[in-house]
Amino acid sequence: MKQISELKDEIHQWEELLANIHELLDLAKNGDESLRPDLENEIERISHQLDHLELTILLSKPYDKGNALLSINAGAGGTDAQDWAEMLLRMYTRWAEDKGYNISILERSEGEEAGIKSITLLIEGKYAYGYMKSEKGVHRLVRLSPFDAAHRRHTSFVQVEVLPEVAAEDPEIEINPDDLTIDVFRSSGAGGQNVQKNATAIRITHKPTGIVVTCQNERSQLQNRENAMKVLRARLFDLKMQEKEKELAKLKGKYQKAEWGSQIRSYVLHPYQMVKDHRTDYETGNVESVLNGNIDQFIHAYLKM
């Protein structure tokens, strides 16, 4: 019933677009020059709508329409990398808010001096995973470090992980409770009133794979446990997909693992300003706009590729 509803909605959007085009053609046939400005504005609006609908066709894989789990992990670069991780968090948060998506923090680990070591977010909204999957990989920043007394140029790396929120009833993923080790501990925070007095944070270890998931943002132990299971299910699903991709790649004769050094995108603030995606070769000199959440052009270029 959900699939039928989604397909009906898609068909309705295309039918509405076609109706608008026929209406425009009828008006254009009148040859009334006074209608030209209105017609040009309407053509531009329809063109944007068509671009959006064409992109949704590219988002046809099973989980593309669903929610996304986004993890940001600081890599090589010390305090600079942790600050870079927080800059990326701000970029993705602004992008998601602009799309009208709901954002929940499942886990957050603060940096020692600045920024964050890691964070896991749940981004809820239609096509959240379909759009966000293009961001998976290593993001590289080159800039004059604000944390270096000599103000030298530093290169920092952050790993971005994007997973689909896999439904509990998904037959692809089966979790045996006997395979889990569950630890309960007190949440760590910035201090003051926010520090939890009770042990509500959850750490789940999946013994067969060694995957460890931590959730400590909620005040309820039960809610943290549910969120941790959500992340674990998504990580197990991703592991399964990686194995399938590896098998397919062996048949094709090519397989490249995403790892440090194989960055998908570079953000250069010094000696010049540029953001370049190394997969699509799309680039822009407006770094400030990108860091403020304007990443649609990179997402679109990846999906079209």
Q: How many residues does the chain have?
A: 305
CA distance linking residue 105 with residue 227, whole number of Å:
10
E-strand spans in the chain? 68-74, 102-110, 116-124, 137-144, 153-164, 180-185, 201-206, 211-215, 263-268, 274-277, 283-284
- The pLDDT, as a whole number, for residue 9 is 86
CATH of domain 177-252: 3.30.160.20
Give the model confidence (pLDDT) of 141-183 as tens digits: 999 998 887 778 889 999 999 999 886 667 778 899 999 999 9
Characterise 111 by phi-psi region: left (phi > 0), alpha (psi -120 to 50), beta (else): beta
Which residue shows structure tokens 């070591």?
117
Alpha helices for 30-73 (secondary structure H): 36-58
CA distance linking residue 55 with residue 80, whole number of Å:
35
CA distance linking residue 161 with residue 235, whole number of Å:
10
Give the model confidence (pLDDT) of 220-235 as tens digits: 889 899 899 999 999 9
Characterise 152 by phi-psi region: left (phi > 0), alpha (psi -120 to 50), beta (else): beta
E-strand spans in 165-216? 180-185, 201-206, 211-215
- Asked if 228 contacts 202 with a C-beta cutoff of 8 angstroms, the reply is yes
The string of DSSP codes covering 99-128 is: TT-EEEEEEEEE-SSSSEEEEEEEEESTTH
Whole-structure pTM value = 0.80
CA distance linking residue 20 with residue 294, whole number of Å:
29
CATH of domain 68-169+258-304: 3.30.70.1660
Helix, coil or strand: residue 284 = strand
- Asked if 292 contacts 94 with a C-beta cutoff of 8 angstroms, the reply is yes
Give the model confidence (pLDDT) of 73-110 as tens digits: 998 778 999 999 999 999 999 999 999 999 999 989 89
- Asked if 260 contacts 138 with a C-beta cutoff of 8 angstroms, the reply is yes
Average confidence (pLDDT) over 136-140 = 93
- The pLDDT, as a whole number, for residue 261 is 59
Q: What average pLDDT does the chain have?
A: 87
